[in-house]
Structure 1
Amino acid sequence: MQILKRAFGEYVTNCYIVKGEQGDLVIDPGQGSFDWVMQNTGKIAAVLNTHGHYDHVYDDAKLQRMGAKIYIHEEDAFMLRTDPFETMPESIEADVLIKGQEQSLEIAGFNVKFSLFAGHTPGSCMIEVGGVIFSGDVIFKGSIGRWDFPFSSGAQMRESLHKILQIEGDFTLYPGHGPNTSLAAERQNLKYFLQFFER
Protein backbone atom coordinates (compact mmCIF):
# COMPACT_ATOMS: atom_id res chain seq x y z
CA MET A 1 0.00 0.00 0.00
CA GLN A 2 1.43 3.34 -1.06
CA ILE A 3 0.48 6.53 0.77
CA LEU A 4 1.03 9.95 -0.79
CA LYS A 5 0.91 13.05 1.42
CA ARG A 6 0.91 16.77 0.78
CA ALA A 7 -0.22 19.76 2.85
CA PHE A 8 -2.47 22.50 1.47
CA GLY A 9 -4.07 25.79 2.37
CA GLU A 10 -3.74 28.44 5.04
CA TYR A 11 -3.72 25.87 7.82
CA VAL A 12 -1.28 23.49 6.10
CA THR A 13 -3.78 20.64 6.13
CA ASN A 14 -2.55 17.20 5.12
CA CYS A 15 -4.26 15.52 2.19
CA TYR A 16 -3.55 11.83 1.60
CA ILE A 17 -3.92 9.47 -1.32
CA VAL A 18 -3.90 5.75 -0.52
CA LYS A 19 -3.05 3.90 -3.72
CA GLY A 20 -4.81 0.63 -4.48
CA GLU A 21 -5.13 -1.78 -7.39
CA GLN A 22 -8.89 -1.24 -7.72
CA GLY A 23 -8.80 2.50 -7.07
CA ASP A 24 -7.43 5.09 -4.69
CA LEU A 25 -8.74 6.59 -1.47
CA VAL A 26 -8.45 10.35 -1.01
CA ILE A 27 -8.46 11.53 2.60
CA ASP A 28 -9.22 15.15 3.57
CA PRO A 29 -8.86 17.08 0.29
CA GLY A 30 -8.33 20.62 1.56
CA GLN A 31 -8.15 23.92 -0.27
CA GLY A 32 -6.01 23.68 -3.39
CA SER A 33 -5.58 19.90 -3.29
CA PHE A 34 -7.72 19.12 -6.34
CA ASP A 35 -5.02 19.44 -9.03
CA TRP A 36 -2.51 17.42 -6.99
CA VAL A 37 -5.07 14.69 -6.38
CA MET A 38 -6.00 14.47 -10.06
CA GLN A 39 -2.33 14.34 -11.08
CA ASN A 40 -1.63 11.48 -8.69
CA THR A 41 -4.63 9.20 -8.99
CA GLY A 42 -5.95 7.22 -11.90
CA LYS A 43 -9.27 6.27 -10.31
CA ILE A 44 -10.73 7.67 -7.10
CA ALA A 45 -12.65 4.98 -5.25
CA ALA A 46 -13.78 7.31 -2.45
CA VAL A 47 -13.13 10.57 -0.63
CA LEU A 48 -12.93 9.94 3.12
CA ASN A 49 -13.35 12.92 5.44
CA THR A 50 -12.03 12.62 8.99
CA HIS A 51 -14.34 15.52 9.96
CA GLY A 52 -16.23 18.44 8.48
CA HIS A 53 -14.00 21.48 8.98
CA TYR A 54 -13.54 23.40 5.74
CA ASP A 55 -9.76 23.05 5.63
CA HIS A 56 -10.26 19.26 5.32
CA VAL A 57 -13.23 19.16 2.95
CA TYR A 58 -12.74 22.28 0.80
CA ASP A 59 -12.24 20.40 -2.49
CA ASP A 60 -14.84 17.69 -1.84
CA ALA A 61 -17.29 19.29 -4.27
CA LYS A 62 -14.79 19.33 -7.14
CA LEU A 63 -13.95 15.66 -6.60
CA GLN A 64 -17.62 14.75 -6.26
CA ARG A 65 -18.25 16.29 -9.68
CA MET A 66 -15.55 13.97 -11.04
CA GLY A 67 -17.60 11.01 -9.81
CA ALA A 68 -16.01 10.42 -6.41
CA LYS A 69 -18.29 9.43 -3.52
CA ILE A 70 -17.94 11.50 -0.34
CA TYR A 71 -17.86 9.70 3.03
CA ILE A 72 -18.27 11.52 6.36
CA HIS A 73 -19.72 10.75 9.78
CA GLU A 74 -23.39 11.67 10.02
CA GLU A 75 -22.69 14.02 12.96
CA ASP A 76 -20.48 16.23 10.75
CA ALA A 77 -22.45 16.03 7.50
CA PHE A 78 -24.16 19.35 8.27
CA MET A 79 -20.82 21.15 7.89
CA LEU A 80 -20.74 20.21 4.20
CA ARG A 81 -24.11 21.91 3.80
CA THR A 82 -23.60 24.90 6.10
CA ASP A 83 -19.99 25.75 6.93
CA PRO A 84 -19.89 27.29 10.45
CA PHE A 85 -16.83 29.32 9.39
CA GLU A 86 -18.54 30.58 6.20
CA THR A 87 -15.46 29.76 4.13
CA MET A 88 -16.59 26.87 1.88
CA PRO A 89 -17.11 27.88 -1.77
CA GLU A 90 -20.26 25.76 -2.09
CA SER A 91 -22.40 23.35 -0.13
CA ILE A 92 -22.74 19.66 -0.96
CA GLU A 93 -24.44 16.54 0.30
CA ALA A 94 -22.32 13.57 1.33
CA ASP A 95 -22.91 10.33 -0.57
CA VAL A 96 -22.28 7.98 2.36
CA LEU A 97 -22.95 8.79 6.02
CA ILE A 98 -20.95 6.89 8.63
CA LYS A 99 -23.08 6.00 11.63
CA GLY A 100 -22.47 5.21 15.28
CA GLN A 101 -19.26 4.70 17.21
CA GLU A 102 -17.60 2.43 14.67
CA GLN A 103 -18.31 1.31 11.13
CA SER A 104 -16.29 -0.89 8.81
CA LEU A 105 -16.63 -0.87 5.04
CA GLU A 106 -15.03 -2.54 2.06
CA ILE A 107 -14.07 0.05 -0.54
CA ALA A 108 -12.25 -1.00 -3.72
CA GLY A 109 -10.46 -3.84 -1.96
CA PHE A 110 -9.58 -1.77 1.12
CA ASN A 111 -10.90 -2.59 4.57
CA VAL A 112 -11.78 0.83 5.97
CA LYS A 113 -12.82 1.37 9.59
CA PHE A 114 -14.21 4.68 10.81
CA SER A 115 -14.06 5.14 14.59
CA LEU A 116 -15.79 8.11 16.20
CA PHE A 117 -13.69 10.23 18.56
CA ALA A 118 -15.84 13.31 19.07
CA GLY A 119 -14.60 16.52 20.65
CA HIS A 120 -12.87 18.55 17.96
CA THR A 121 -16.15 18.19 16.09
CA PRO A 122 -19.23 16.07 16.87
CA GLY A 123 -18.30 13.62 14.11
CA SER A 124 -14.49 13.59 14.28
CA CYS A 125 -13.23 10.18 13.24
CA MET A 126 -9.98 8.32 12.99
CA ILE A 127 -9.90 6.12 9.90
CA GLU A 128 -7.98 2.84 9.85
CA VAL A 129 -6.82 1.57 6.47
CA GLY A 130 -4.29 -1.21 5.91
CA GLY A 131 -2.98 -1.23 9.47
CA VAL A 132 -2.38 2.53 9.75
CA ILE A 133 -4.63 5.26 11.14
CA PHE A 134 -5.48 8.63 9.63
CA SER A 135 -6.13 10.57 12.82
CA GLY A 136 -7.51 13.82 11.37
CA ASP A 137 -7.57 16.52 14.03
CA VAL A 138 -8.01 14.10 16.93
CA ILE A 139 -4.28 13.43 17.52
CA PHE A 140 -1.19 15.19 16.19
CA LYS A 141 2.47 14.66 16.96
CA GLY A 142 2.74 15.98 20.52
CA SER A 143 -0.74 17.44 20.65
CA ILE A 144 -4.49 16.96 20.20
CA GLY A 145 -7.25 18.80 18.36
CA ARG A 146 -8.72 22.04 19.66
CA TRP A 147 -12.08 21.99 21.41
CA ASP A 148 -12.89 25.72 21.39
CA PHE A 149 -14.52 25.92 17.96
CA PRO A 150 -18.25 26.07 17.24
CA PHE A 151 -19.72 22.59 17.87
CA SER A 152 -16.54 21.40 19.63
CA SER A 153 -16.74 19.87 23.10
CA GLY A 154 -14.09 19.52 25.79
CA ALA A 155 -16.19 16.88 27.56
CA GLN A 156 -16.37 14.78 24.41
CA MET A 157 -12.65 15.23 23.79
CA ARG A 158 -11.91 13.95 27.28
CA GLU A 159 -14.04 10.85 26.65
CA SER A 160 -12.31 10.30 23.31
CA LEU A 161 -8.84 10.45 24.83
CA HIS A 162 -9.87 7.76 27.31
CA LYS A 163 -11.15 5.66 24.41
CA ILE A 164 -7.93 6.08 22.44
CA LEU A 165 -5.83 4.91 25.40
CA GLN A 166 -7.84 1.69 25.36
CA ILE A 167 -6.76 0.85 21.80
CA GLU A 168 -4.50 -2.19 21.91
CA GLY A 169 -1.22 -2.34 20.05
CA ASP A 170 0.54 0.34 18.06
CA PHE A 171 -0.35 2.11 14.83
CA THR A 172 1.39 4.64 12.63
CA LEU A 173 -0.68 7.82 12.76
CA TYR A 174 -1.12 10.10 9.77
CA PRO A 175 -2.57 13.30 11.26
CA GLY A 176 -4.50 16.15 9.72
CA HIS A 177 -1.61 18.56 10.32
CA GLY A 178 2.10 18.10 10.83
CA PRO A 179 4.39 15.07 10.74
CA ASN A 180 3.47 11.42 11.16
CA THR A 181 3.73 9.83 14.57
CA SER A 182 2.61 6.63 16.31
CA LEU A 183 0.04 5.72 18.89
CA ALA A 184 2.78 4.39 21.18
CA ALA A 185 4.68 7.66 20.97
CA GLU A 186 1.58 9.70 21.80
CA ARG A 187 0.25 7.75 24.78
CA GLN A 188 2.08 9.88 27.34
CA ASN A 189 0.94 13.06 25.61
CA LEU A 190 -2.66 11.88 25.78
CA LYS A 191 -2.28 11.18 29.50
CA TYR A 192 -0.90 14.69 29.95
CA PHE A 193 -3.90 16.25 28.25
CA LEU A 194 -6.25 14.11 30.31
CA GLN A 195 -4.65 15.54 33.43
CA PHE A 196 -5.42 19.00 32.06
CA PHE A 197 -9.10 18.09 31.54
CA GLU A 198 -9.37 16.55 35.00
CA ARG A 199 -7.91 19.42 37.04
Structure 2
Amino acid sequence: MKIYPHYSPQGSVNSYLVGNEVSKEALIIDPGKITGEVINHIEKNGYTLVGVFITHNHIRHYGYGLPTLLKIYNPRVYAADQALVGKHGKMLWGDCTIPIAGFSVECFSVPGHSPDSYLFKIDNCIFTGDSLTAGITGSTLHSFAAKTLAEQLEKKLFIHDDALLLFPGHDPPTTIGAERKFTHLSIFKVDKSMVNFIPYKK
Protein backbone atom coordinates (compact mmCIF):
# COMPACT_ATOMS: atom_id res chain seq x y z
CA MET A 1 0.00 0.00 0.00
CA LYS A 2 1.20 3.48 -0.88
CA ILE A 3 -0.37 6.68 0.46
CA TYR A 4 0.01 9.95 -1.41
CA PRO A 5 -1.18 12.86 0.78
CA HIS A 6 -2.31 16.04 -0.93
CA TYR A 7 -2.89 19.37 0.82
CA SER A 8 -5.30 21.88 -0.69
CA PRO A 9 -4.99 25.52 0.40
CA GLN A 10 -8.55 25.91 -0.87
CA GLY A 11 -10.31 24.83 2.31
CA SER A 12 -7.06 23.86 4.05
CA VAL A 13 -7.87 20.16 3.80
CA ASN A 14 -5.97 16.92 3.32
CA SER A 15 -6.84 14.37 0.65
CA TYR A 16 -5.28 10.93 0.41
CA LEU A 17 -4.68 8.74 -2.62
CA VAL A 18 -4.25 5.12 -1.47
CA GLY A 19 -2.73 2.83 -4.08
CA ASN A 20 -2.44 -0.94 -4.22
CA GLU A 21 0.83 -1.82 -5.94
CA VAL A 22 -0.30 -5.38 -6.63
CA SER A 23 -3.77 -4.83 -8.11
CA LYS A 24 -2.86 -1.40 -9.52
CA GLU A 25 -6.12 -0.02 -8.16
CA ALA A 26 -6.54 3.07 -5.99
CA LEU A 27 -8.91 4.88 -3.65
CA ILE A 28 -9.18 8.54 -2.70
CA ILE A 29 -10.19 9.63 0.79
CA ASP A 30 -11.86 13.09 0.91
CA PRO A 31 -11.15 14.59 -2.53
CA GLY A 32 -11.04 18.19 -1.28
CA LYS A 33 -9.50 19.45 -4.51
CA ILE A 34 -8.16 17.36 -7.37
CA THR A 35 -5.19 18.96 -9.09
CA GLY A 36 -2.93 17.88 -11.92
CA GLU A 37 -0.53 16.54 -9.29
CA VAL A 38 -3.14 14.06 -8.02
CA ILE A 39 -4.10 13.01 -11.54
CA ASN A 40 -0.41 12.52 -12.38
CA HIS A 41 0.02 10.22 -9.37
CA ILE A 42 -2.87 8.10 -10.61
CA GLU A 43 -1.72 8.00 -14.23
CA LYS A 44 2.05 7.61 -13.68
CA ASN A 45 1.47 4.66 -11.36
CA GLY A 46 -0.98 3.04 -13.76
CA TYR A 47 -3.74 2.99 -11.15
CA THR A 48 -7.40 2.43 -11.86
CA LEU A 49 -9.38 4.66 -9.50
CA VAL A 50 -12.12 2.40 -8.16
CA GLY A 51 -13.40 4.19 -5.06
CA VAL A 52 -13.88 7.53 -3.32
CA PHE A 53 -14.53 7.54 0.43
CA ILE A 54 -15.89 10.70 2.06
CA THR A 55 -15.56 11.07 5.82
CA HIS A 56 -18.39 13.60 6.20
CA ASN A 57 -20.57 16.02 4.28
CA HIS A 58 -18.67 19.28 4.67
CA ILE A 59 -18.07 20.80 1.28
CA ARG A 60 -14.37 21.54 1.76
CA HIS A 61 -13.71 17.80 1.91
CA TYR A 62 -15.29 16.90 -1.41
CA GLY A 63 -16.87 19.87 -3.16
CA TYR A 64 -13.87 20.96 -5.24
CA GLY A 65 -12.67 17.47 -6.13
CA LEU A 66 -15.49 14.95 -6.43
CA PRO A 67 -17.07 16.50 -9.57
CA THR A 68 -13.65 16.52 -11.23
CA LEU A 69 -13.02 12.85 -10.45
CA LEU A 70 -16.44 11.83 -11.73
CA LYS A 71 -15.76 13.56 -15.04
CA ILE A 72 -12.46 11.71 -15.56
CA TYR A 73 -12.94 8.32 -13.88
CA ASN A 74 -15.74 5.99 -12.89
CA PRO A 75 -15.19 5.30 -9.16
CA ARG A 76 -17.81 4.15 -6.70
CA VAL A 77 -18.54 6.77 -4.05
CA TYR A 78 -18.95 5.74 -0.40
CA ALA A 79 -20.44 8.19 2.10
CA ALA A 80 -23.15 8.31 4.75
CA ASP A 81 -25.12 11.02 2.94
CA GLN A 82 -27.22 10.06 -0.07
CA ALA A 83 -26.74 13.52 -1.56
CA LEU A 84 -23.04 12.75 -1.96
CA VAL A 85 -23.44 9.19 -3.20
CA GLY A 86 -26.21 9.86 -5.70
CA LYS A 87 -26.17 7.22 -8.43
CA HIS A 88 -22.41 6.75 -8.22
CA GLY A 89 -21.97 4.37 -5.29
CA LYS A 90 -23.21 3.14 -1.96
CA MET A 91 -24.57 4.93 1.08
CA LEU A 92 -22.89 3.82 4.29
CA TRP A 93 -25.05 2.75 7.21
CA GLY A 94 -23.57 1.73 10.54
CA ASP A 95 -20.21 -0.02 10.79
CA CYS A 96 -19.21 -2.21 7.87
CA THR A 97 -16.29 -3.61 5.88
CA ILE A 98 -15.98 -2.99 2.15
CA PRO A 99 -13.65 -5.13 0.00
CA ILE A 100 -12.27 -2.85 -2.71
CA ALA A 101 -9.00 -2.30 -4.57
CA GLY A 102 -7.56 -5.39 -2.92
CA PHE A 103 -8.11 -3.85 0.53
CA SER A 104 -10.62 -4.46 3.28
CA VAL A 105 -11.80 -0.97 4.19
CA GLU A 106 -13.29 -0.95 7.69
CA CYS A 107 -15.87 1.82 8.03
CA PHE A 108 -16.78 3.13 11.49
CA SER A 109 -19.68 5.51 12.11
CA VAL A 110 -18.64 8.24 14.59
CA PRO A 111 -21.39 10.89 14.69
CA GLY A 112 -20.62 14.06 16.59
CA HIS A 113 -18.65 16.47 14.45
CA SER A 114 -21.40 15.87 11.89
CA PRO A 115 -24.22 13.31 11.89
CA ASP A 116 -22.64 11.41 8.99
CA SER A 117 -18.99 11.32 10.16
CA TYR A 118 -16.97 8.16 9.47
CA LEU A 119 -13.51 6.75 10.11
CA PHE A 120 -11.93 4.53 7.46
CA LYS A 121 -9.32 1.92 8.42
CA ILE A 122 -7.07 0.34 5.80
CA ASP A 123 -4.40 -2.00 7.13
CA ASN A 124 -2.49 -0.07 9.85
CA CYS A 125 -3.86 3.35 8.85
CA ILE A 126 -7.02 5.17 9.91
CA PHE A 127 -8.40 8.19 8.06
CA THR A 128 -10.24 10.31 10.62
CA GLY A 129 -11.64 13.25 8.65
CA ASP A 130 -12.54 15.99 11.12
CA SER A 131 -13.50 13.67 13.97
CA LEU A 132 -9.95 13.83 15.30
CA THR A 133 -6.91 15.91 14.37
CA ALA A 134 -3.56 15.97 16.15
CA GLY A 135 -4.33 16.59 19.81
CA ILE A 136 -7.97 17.63 19.49
CA THR A 137 -11.36 16.12 18.78
CA GLY A 138 -13.65 17.60 16.14
CA SER A 139 -15.78 20.65 16.80
CA THR A 140 -19.42 20.02 17.67
CA LEU A 141 -22.58 22.11 17.87
CA HIS A 142 -23.65 21.17 21.41
CA SER A 143 -22.66 19.15 24.46
CA PHE A 144 -24.68 16.07 23.47
CA ALA A 145 -22.80 15.84 20.16
CA ALA A 146 -19.47 16.32 21.98
CA LYS A 147 -20.31 13.51 24.39
CA THR A 148 -21.43 11.26 21.54
CA LEU A 149 -18.24 11.89 19.57
CA ALA A 150 -16.05 11.18 22.61
CA GLU A 151 -17.88 7.91 23.28
CA GLN A 152 -17.63 6.80 19.66
CA LEU A 153 -13.91 7.56 19.48
CA GLU A 154 -13.31 5.61 22.68
CA LYS A 155 -15.19 2.58 21.31
CA LYS A 156 -14.02 2.62 17.71
CA LEU A 157 -10.69 4.41 17.51
CA PHE A 158 -8.88 4.02 20.82
CA ILE A 159 -9.40 0.27 20.91
CA HIS A 160 -6.61 -0.04 18.33
CA ASP A 161 -2.89 -0.46 18.86
CA ASP A 162 -0.77 2.60 19.70
CA ALA A 163 1.34 2.17 16.56
CA LEU A 164 -1.54 2.70 14.13
CA LEU A 165 -1.18 5.80 11.96
CA LEU A 166 -3.90 8.45 11.85
CA PHE A 167 -4.44 10.62 8.80
CA PRO A 168 -6.77 13.55 9.58
CA GLY A 169 -8.70 15.91 7.34
CA HIS A 170 -6.60 18.81 8.63
CA ASP A 171 -3.12 19.11 10.13
CA PRO A 172 -0.33 16.49 10.15
CA PRO A 173 -0.54 12.71 10.61
CA THR A 174 -0.33 11.32 14.12
CA THR A 175 -0.65 7.95 15.89
CA ILE A 176 -3.08 6.25 18.23
CA GLY A 177 -0.40 6.31 20.94
CA ALA A 178 0.15 10.05 20.68
CA GLU A 179 -3.56 10.79 20.73
CA ARG A 180 -4.14 8.43 23.65
CA LYS A 181 -1.62 10.50 25.57
CA PHE A 182 -2.60 14.02 24.53
CA THR A 183 -6.26 13.97 23.46
CA HIS A 184 -8.69 13.98 26.39
CA LEU A 185 -12.14 12.79 25.46
CA SER A 186 -14.07 12.80 28.70
CA ILE A 187 -14.00 16.49 29.70
CA PHE A 188 -15.13 19.37 27.51
CA LYS A 189 -15.61 23.09 27.92
CA VAL A 190 -17.51 25.53 25.75
CA ASP A 191 -15.59 28.20 23.88
CA LYS A 192 -16.80 31.82 23.67
CA SER A 193 -18.72 31.26 20.44
CA MET A 194 -20.77 28.52 22.16
CA VAL A 195 -20.30 26.40 19.06
CA ASN A 196 -17.08 24.39 19.30
CA PHE A 197 -16.28 22.06 22.16
CA ILE A 198 -12.60 21.70 22.91
CA PRO A 199 -10.79 19.34 25.28
CA TYR A 200 -8.72 20.71 28.13
CA LYS A 201 -6.49 19.48 30.89
CA LYS A 202 -7.21 20.01 34.57
TM range, smaller chain: 0.7 to 0.9
Structure 1 letter corresponding to 2:67:
A
Partner of 1:49: 54
1:72 matched to 2:74: no
Shift in Å, 1:10:
3.1
For residues 63-142 of structure 1, the aligned pairs below 5 Å read: 63-65=69-71, 66-73=73-80, 76-78=81-83, 80=84, 93-100=87-94, 102-142=95-135
Residue of structure 1 aligned with 2:161, choices 166, 169, 179: 169
Taking the aligned partners of 2:50 and 2:175, their CA distance within structure 1 comes to 26
Assess if the C-alpha contact under 8 Å between 1:46 and 1:69 holds in 2.
yes
Assess if the C-alpha contact under 8 Å between 1:52 and 1:77 holds in 2.
no
1:29 matched to 2:31: yes
Assess if the C-alpha contact under 8 Å between 1:24 and 1:44 holds in 2.
yes
Taking the aligned partners of 1:11 and 1:67, their CA distance within structure 2 comes to 25
Taking the aligned partners of 1:181 and 1:193, their CA distance within structure 2 comes to 16
Query: Residues 145-167 of structure 1: CA distance to partner in whole angstroms, max 9, x if unpaired?
Result: 11139xx9324223223324651
Taking the aligned partners of 2:90 and 2:36, their CA distance within structure 1 comes to 24
Residue of structure 1 aligned with 2:172, choices 176, 179, 193: 179
Partner of 2:194: none
Assess if the C-alpha contact under 8 Å between 2:75 and 2:88 holds in 1.
no
Assess if the C-alpha contact under 8 Å between 1:113 and 1:127 holds in 2.
yes
Q: Secondary structure of 1:14's match?
A: strand
Taking the aligned partners of 1:36 and 1:148, their CA distance within structure 2 comes to 35
How many pairs are equivalent?
181
| Percentage of matched positions with identical amino acids | 29
* 5+ residue gaps, structure 2: 190-198
Query: Residues 26-66 of structure 1: CA distance to partner in whole angstroms, max 9, x if unpaired?
Result: 111103x2433211113101111111111111211221232
With normalisation by structure 1, the TM-score equals 0.81
Query: Residues 116-147 of structure 1: CA distance to partner in whole angstroms, max 9, x if unpaired?
Result: 11111111111001221111111111111111
Larger Rg: 2
Partner of 1:86: none
Q: Secondary structure of 1:122's match?
A: coil
Assess if the C-alpha contact under 8 Å between 1:172 and 1:180 holds in 2.
yes
Taking the aligned partners of 2:154 and 2:102, their CA distance within structure 1 comes to 31
Taking the aligned partners of 2:87 and 2:151, their CA distance within structure 1 comes to 29
1:16 matched to 2:23: no
Change in 2 beyond 3 A, CA 1:155/1:93? farther
Residue of structure 2 aligned with 1:158, choices 134, 142, 150: 150
Taking the aligned partners of 2:101 and 2:15, their CA distance within structure 1 comes to 19
